[in-house]
Amino acid sequence: MKSGYTIEAQKKHSAAKVFRAITDVYGDEGVKQTSRQDSFATPVERAERLLKGRAEGGDKQALFLLGQLYYYEGRYEEAERVFDSIKDSDPRALFQLAVMYYDGLGTAMDQPRAVDYMRRVVQWNSPEAGSIRYTALYHIGIAYLEGYGVQQSNTEAESYWLLAADEGNPKACVKAQSSLGMFYSRPETQDLKRAFFWHSEACGNGSLESQGALGIMYLYGQGIQQDPKAAIECLKEAAKRGNVYAQAHLAAYYHHRKLYSRAAALAKRISNYDDIAAIARVTDCLPEYVIKGVAIALFYYARCLELGKGVPQSKEKAWQYFTKAAQLNPEVCQDLQRDIIFSRM
C-alpha cells in the first residue's frame, strides 16, 4: 500500500507555482490556445514559447521565469544556462544557481561555489533580494552544520539561522526558525526553553514540523510545563496535516492510554508508508523524523500484534513488524525495547 505521497505530486506542485507566476505577470497569454498549432502544444510548450518571445524582447522577468520553468521540468542544463546569463543582475537567478551547484543538478557539484553564491545573495544591496536573502542565510547555516563547502561549525550554523529567523518575523525564513528549534533540542547544543520558543515561533508561522515538535514537548514537559491537552491538540492537528512523527507519537499516546484499537489502526496505517523521501518533500519535514515516525509506528503495531491488543494476536506477524522497525531505525527500537523491559509499554 502506498502512503499517498508521490514525487510526481511534488513536481506538479512546484511547476504549478511557475504557471501561477506566469499568469500573474502575463494573464492567460502563456496558457491559452491562440492558434490551431497551439491546440497540439502542451501548457509547458505554450509557456516556453511565450517566455522565449518576451525574453528576446528584453523582458528580464520572462527570462527568469523561463529558467524556473526549465528547472521544475528537470531540464537543468537549460536552466543553468538561463540563470547564469542573468546571475549578476537578478539575485533570484544567483540563488537558483547556488542550489544547483550545491546539489549537482545539471552541473558538477560545487558546494564551495554554492556557498559563495549564497553569500553574494545575502550581500545583495537591493530590494530585489527580498525574502531570498533570508533563505540564503538559512542555506549557509545548513552548509556550516553539515560541513558542506565550509568547515563544520555549530556556532556559525546557529549564527546564520538566527539571522535567517529574524526574531520570528513571519516574512523571514520559517525553516530557519524550525531548524533552531531542532538545533536546541540536540544533545550537543541542547537548550529546551529556546527550542520551545523557536518551535512556537515557527508553528505560528505555519511550520508543520514545529507543530508536531511542540506537541511532543507539551506531552513530555520538555522546555515547558507538561500540558497533555495542548499536546494532543498539537499532535492531532499536525497528524492531520501529514506530520508522520506526530502521527506516530499519537499512536503511542493511544497505546499508553490503553486505546488499543485506535493505536493499532493508526500505527498500521503509518507502517504502510513506503516513500520516505516523497513524504518528506511534500510535508516539508526532515526525512530522519519521517523515518523515526514510521519506525515508532512499526514497533507499536508489532507490540499490539504480539499481545493481541486492538488486533488479533499473531506473534509471527509481530516479529515481522519488529524486524522492519529495527531495520529502519535501530536506535528508536532500542529505546522502545527498554520501555518494554522496564514495563513502560
Query: pTM value?
Result: 0.86
Torsion of CA 126, 131, 136, 141, to 10 degrees: 130
Query: Helix (H, G, I), strand (E, B), or coil: what is residue 59?
Result: coil
Whole-Å CA distances, 271 to 67, 305, 316, 324: 39, 13, 16, 9
- CB contact at 8 A, 78 and 119: no
Closest CA to 299 of 253, 338, 336: 336
Whole-Å CA distances, 110 to 66, 101, 119, 144, 153: 24, 5, 15, 15, 19
- How many alpha carbons lie under 13 Å from residue 184 in its C-beta half-sphere? 24
Distance CA 49, CA 36 (A): 15
Q: Which long-range contacts (CB under 8 A, 24 or more apart) does 41-44 make?
A: 43/19, 44/15, 44/69, 44/73
- CB contact at 8 A, 269 and 310: no
Report the helix count and the strand count for the chain, using DSSP H and E.
18, 0
Helix pair angle (43-56, 60-72), 10° resolution: 150
Q: Tell me which residue has cell 508521490.
A: 6
Distance CA 33, CA 327 (A): 52
Given this model, what pLDDT does residue 20 score? 72
85 grid coordinates = 546569463
- CB contact at 8 A, 160 and 141: yes
Render each residue's pLDDT in the chain as its tens digit; 345 residues: 233 333 333 444 456 667 677 777 677 665 555 555 555 567 788 888 889 989 999 999 999 999 999 998 899 999 999 999 999 999 999 999 999 999 999 889 999 999 999 999 999 988 888 899 999 999 999 999 999 999 999 999 999 999 999 999 999 999 999 999 999 999 999 999 999 999 999 999 999 999 999 999 999 999 999 999 999 999 999 999 999 999 999 999 999 999 999 999 999 999 999 999 999 999 999 999 999 999 999 999 999 999 999 999 999 999 999 999 999 999 999 999 999 999 888
Given this model, what pLDDT does residue 6 score? 34
Distance CA 196, CA 185 (A): 9
Distance CA 199, CA 30 (A): 41
Distance CA 71, CA 44 (A): 12
Closest CA to 230 of 249, 216, 251: 216
Distance CA 216, CA 280 (A): 19
Closest CA to 279 of 4, 5, 2: 5
